[in-house]
Structure 1
Amino acid sequence: MRNERTKARGIATDGAANRLRYLALTHGRPLWRLAEADPRLRLRLNAALMDSAIREMPGRPEPLSTKSDYTSWASLTDRTYMARHLPPVPGRDEARPSAERAADLFARDGEMIPCPRSTVLFAYFAQWFTDGFLRGDTNVPRDPRRTSSNHEIDVNPVYGITEDQTNAIRAFDGGRLKSRLVNGGEFPPYLCENGKIKSEFAALSVALFDRVDEPRRDTLFATGGDRGNAQVGFTMFTVLFLREHNRVARVLADAYPKWDDERLFQTARNIVIAIVIKLVVEEYINHITPYHFRFLLDPRLSTRLARAPWHRQNWASIEFNLVYRWHSLVPSELVVAGRELPLPATLFGSALLPEAGLGRLFEDASEQRAGRIGLFNTDPALREVDVASIAGSRAVDLAPYNDYRAHCRFPRVRRFEQISGDPRVHGALRELYRDVDDVDLYVGLFAEEPGSARAILPPLLTKIIAIDAFSQALTNPLLAPRVCNAETFSPVGMRIIGTTRTVSDVLHRNVPEDPRPRFVSMTWRGAR
């Protein structure tokens, strides 16, 4: 029933060009596999499909940012503010429910609706990866227009944003990061002693540190990013890439004995950043899209796309920040070391890692299904985040959902039923909003239904994610034609990057204390 209503809704509202493109990419699997078998054709298709996806919206630089509602030199250059895709649309409060009532649309009131394809590992990676560059203001009180992001994929959850933060976690020996062995596994050192941050880590900060009781503070790890201890999944990935950095540094030291600590560290850091970008393209994005074509991070890609009009300096937009609130992915109970823990028990859960072991935790996350992204499927513990997201979008007068459909080349919807064929969803929208043109972007994005049974994201959300994710990843300076080479990464580093395809690859070379094979995947076994 759901597939039929989704199909009918999609034909009516996605537009002919969008629907034809989607059908072409999600059908004819033998033809796509044949195309992938030809290396030259595959690379051409790879570049053309990425370029086509990004061009679905006007490219950077955006004329406006959250600094002002008109273009100025500051709005074009001051990246402490967020970019914005559309101008502000003020004065619509009388036509919309309060942020608290709108947030009721997200709450899970029974059993979690499972995602058809994703595991909890996918949810963990999405949070860890995006929190590095989709960051709000860290000042108190917070300004919803401002950002503390440097707008680059730079693995700052491991390395930190500032040089002082990076220096605080460096060992300054062999290019490595500070670490300690616990139960045979390598982990960051502990941040606190007797509930106080150690002097050597004075440059580091911890988000919501005041909410952590004193005994638990002594179990927190010293990580470059302020959210490194926020949730067990975030901590897992931070620890994994600390291990990968130190492993790569040791490999480089053996291969290039004349290199000093600084060059070993900087080269290992470059390699790890490139690995993460590769995982984003070749595992994460390929998991998100229901397409039969599998995208590649080809070293020659930047040469092919360097002259594209969108190939400009990264600047994360407020819309990109908003569309990544995938809280419905997270189950109400998470399996950690074989135990089902309520979501709040996994917050600031660094102590769970040495006890269980990294390999076991990655396998647990890969064996558990994530929730379906959409309305009525978010654990109540995350309600305040949805309230804040809606209130924040209104504070900057974000344009409504229908305006973003038009901006992304979708037809505007005229009825609530065109947003979703689910009676519960369109009935709730009609009850809360005066008209479809009043629906908040944040609500509309998640009210839509996925375009097919294999899709995990609704159409508008998919398009915004693809546009911003590809354009922000492919413009990374490490991928520039004159930078992406053995001079930057070393011949050994190029081989490490070239032989890395999945998170599983990284995990299995970094658990010497537990070397058994583990199932590590963003895709649920039953969906393969």
Structure 2
Amino acid sequence: MKPSARIGWRNYLEFWVLTSGEPVWQLIRGIPPLHAAVNRFLVDRLVMKLPIRPNPLSTMGRYTSWESLTNRSFDSRHLPPVPPSKSAPDPVDVAELFRRDGETVLCPRSTVLFAYFAQWFTDGFLRGDVNIPRDPRKNSSNHEIDLNQLYGLTPTVTAALRTRSGGLLKSQVLNGGEFPPYLCELGRIKDEFAPLSVIRFDDIPFGARDALFACGSDRANLHIGFTMLTTLFLREHNRVARLLAEHHPDWDDERLFQTTRNILVVLLIKIVLEEYINHITPTLFQVVLDPAVSRTAVWHRTNHMAIEFNLLYRWHSLIPSALLAGGQERPLADTLAGNRLLPECGLGPLFEDASTQRAGRIGLFNTDPVLLHVEEQSVAEGRVVELASFNDYRAYCGFPRLKSFAEVSSDPRVRRGLAELYASVDDIDFYTGIFAEDPLPGSLLSPVMQRIITVDAFSQAYTNPLLSPQVYGPDTFSPTGMGIIETTARLSDVLNRNLPEVTRPYRARMTHERS
């Protein structure tokens, strides 16, 4: 099926314009006022592809109420609930559509660092319920890009991580590099870190707990990639705090800490927009951070994460079955709770390893069996919150409804797998469909996934309070902080100014370099 027929002629024409005519886009990039105007126009146009927030419904109930609009412990939702069909396949069977048999199918464009960053970044705001038993309708999110991976979700956690001197966060030096302090001693959480928590702490062997780091997120020790990125931003926080202290000797600890935190949150948003989002999208236009984008935008509304956004961001197929760390390939299981590898291998070499190795392709039949239970859980959660069908979401996103399994994918194995489980194309679960659907040429993501991510990502990043025109400026960040923000666009910028123990620059790239 031709791409133009699968997404509609109007959508395809827009896609063609944004992915063709490179000399024109280069010319636009070379004229700053024109680039800024086009940047504002395109971001606004992309966000307006779907209805703007607030969504009228949430996972709280079947109709709109004041509490459903304002109680953000329940996820918002793009479409009304639809009870699952009685003939819907068992989530265990659906999860088999995700199973990787044999070699990882590689992504032509992404590195493992992209996979690490995607998980680390989104786990800051796409946070499920932490109560036992879990309620799939609820979340534990602040609904903001706030770098809680480093600072924690509450002031109590933040306070436990601070030195209360010079605006610094607690840290330790291991093998010449700065790392978070250890959380435990003799298998028990230290008294100073009592407010902190670790996901599935009781399942961690007693002897392995002393390698856990004390970080803001309960997921900080979950995977080597998560810990690498948290460690990097810890180093950057303390570097910036020391720099501010030099320029402002009259500032107390509190002002140094809060100003540094403001700078780092905006640094993260800038990297997300200028490196991460530009890597995801196939367009030739390069988005830049410009607080003026949302100054008069009608979509500038309070953030409220959507259940669909949460589910579609579970890109487990990005993770290869063996990961390069310390110059050698290690089974995926060996990098879970792999904190010991950080001081052993060094932060720079680990980032370079992740930047050298290609990630897996996002799609069906490409999830390592170690992670297959998460795919099953995701399908089940979609049923519990009664998500509409994949075809319903295609219509919602402005794409033609598909009429057969053959129109979903060009891969015979995907078509066959769907036909064996679902009675018709209209019965395909949202979660299954977004991974089964073919991406457009040059894209990493399927059309529905791309559209929801584009809308939600831009609208939620640009509504951060630190980007407000009354807030964004030297009064909030200091002239020194503004200089740091303006000269930072990529993770490699942050990495290589935080590697005092090495003498050469290390690669930190989300895009694979073809040899």
Task: Give the alignment's TM-score, normalised by structure 2.
Answer: 0.99
Give the match for residue 274 of structure 2. Answer: 282
Q: Take 1:306 and 1:411, find their aligned partners in 2: how far apart are those partners?
A: 33
SS of residue in 2 equivalent to 1:248: helix
User: Any idea what the Cα deviations from partners look like across 1:456-513, whole Å, max 9, x if unmatched?
Assistant: 1111111111011101100000001100111100110000000001000000000101
Give the match for residue 297 of structure 1. Answer: 289
After the TM superposition, list the runs of 4 or more consecutive aligned residues in structure 1 that deviate by more than 4 angstroms: none
Letter in 1 for 2:499: V
Q: Take 1:70 and 1:408, find their aligned partners in 2: how far apart are those partners?
A: 22
Gaps of 5+ in 2: none
Give the match for residue 437 of structure 2. Answer: 448
Shift of 1:339: 1.6
Q: Take 1:52 and 1:415, find their aligned partners in 2: how far apart are those partners?
A: 31
Q: Is the 8 A contact 1:329 1:372 kept in 2?
A: yes
Show the 5 A alignment for 1:176-187.
Answer: 176-187=168-179
Give the match for residue 210 of structure 2. Answer: 218
Give the match for residue 77 of structure 2. Answer: 84
Q: Take 1:281 and 1:93, find their aligned partners in 2: how far apart are those partners?
A: 42
Give the match for residue 45 of structure 1. Answer: 38
Shift of 1:308: 2.0
User: Any idea what the Cα deviations from partners look like across 1:382-436, whole Å, max 9, x if unmatched?
Assistant: 0000000000110010111011111111111111111111111111111110111
Q: Is the 8 A contact 1:123 1:370 kept in 2?
A: yes
Q: Is the 8 A contact 1:362 1:520 kept in 2?
A: yes
Give the match for residue 506 of structure 2. Answer: 518
Q: What is the aligned counterpart of 2:49 among 41, 49, 56?
A: 56
Q: Take 1:209 and 1:12, find their aligned partners in 2: how far apart are those partners?
A: 50
User: Any idea what the Cα deviations from partners look like across 1:69-125, whole Å, max 9, x if unmatched?
Assistant: 10011101000100000100014131x211000111101011111101000000000
1:408 aligns with 2:401: no
Q: What is the aligned counterpart of 1:145 among 119, 127, 137?
A: 137
Give the match for residue 24 of structure 1. Answer: 17
Q: Take 1:471 and 1:496, find their aligned partners in 2: how far apart are those partners?
A: 24
Letter in 2 for 1:477: P
Shift of 1:36: 1.2
Q: What is the aligned counterpart of 1:197 among 153, 167, 189?
A: 189
SS of residue in 1 equivalent to 2:324: strand
Give the match for residue 4 of structure 1. Answer: none
1:311 aligns with 2:300: yes
Show the 5 A alignment for 1:30-429.
Answer: 30-94=23-87, 96-301=88-293, 305-429=294-418
Q: Take 2:246 and 2:210, find their aligned partners in 1: how far apart are those partners?
A: 35
SS of residue in 2 equivalent to 1:174: coil
Q: Take 1:185 and 1:111, find their aligned partners in 2: how far apart are those partners?
A: 35
Q: Is the 8 A contact 1:66 1:84 kept in 2?
A: yes
Shift of 1:51: 0.7
Q: Is the 8 A contact 2:84 2:383 kept in 1?
A: no
Letter in 2 for 1:319: E
Q: What is the aligned counterpart of 1:494 among 450, 459, 482?
A: 482
Shift of 1:307: 2.6
CA root-mean-square deviation? 0.9
Give the match for residue 3 of structure 1. Answer: none
Q: Is the 8 A contact 1:132 1:153 kept in 2?
A: yes
Aligned residues: 515
Shift of 1:38: 1.1
Shift of 1:9: 3.6
Q: Take 1:181 and 1:91, find their aligned partners in 2: how far apart are those partners?
A: 53
SS of residue in 2 equivalent to 1:104: helix
SS of residue in 2 equivalent to 1:525: coil
User: Any idea what the Cα deviations from partners look like across 1:21-47, whole Å, max 9, x if unmatched?
Assistant: 111111111111011111111111101
Q: Take 1:476 and 1:197, find their aligned partners in 2: how far apart are those partners?
A: 34
Task: Give the alignment's TM-score, normalised by structure 1.
Answer: 0.97
User: Any idea what the Cα deviations from partners look like across 1:220-268, whole Å, max 9, x if unmatched?
Assistant: 1000110111000000000000000000000000000000000000000
Q: Take 2:230 and 2:214, find their aligned partners in 1: how far apart are those partners?
A: 10
Q: Take 1:168 and 1:516, find their aligned partners in 2: how far apart are those partners?
A: 35
Shift of 1:372: 0.4
Q: Take 1:284 and 1:218, find their aligned partners in 2: how far apart are those partners?
A: 33
SS of residue in 1 equivalent to 2:211: coil
Shift of 1:11: 2.1
Letter in 1 for 2:392: D
Give the match for residue 455 of structure 2. Answer: 467
Q: Is the 8 A contact 1:405 1:411 kept in 2?
A: yes
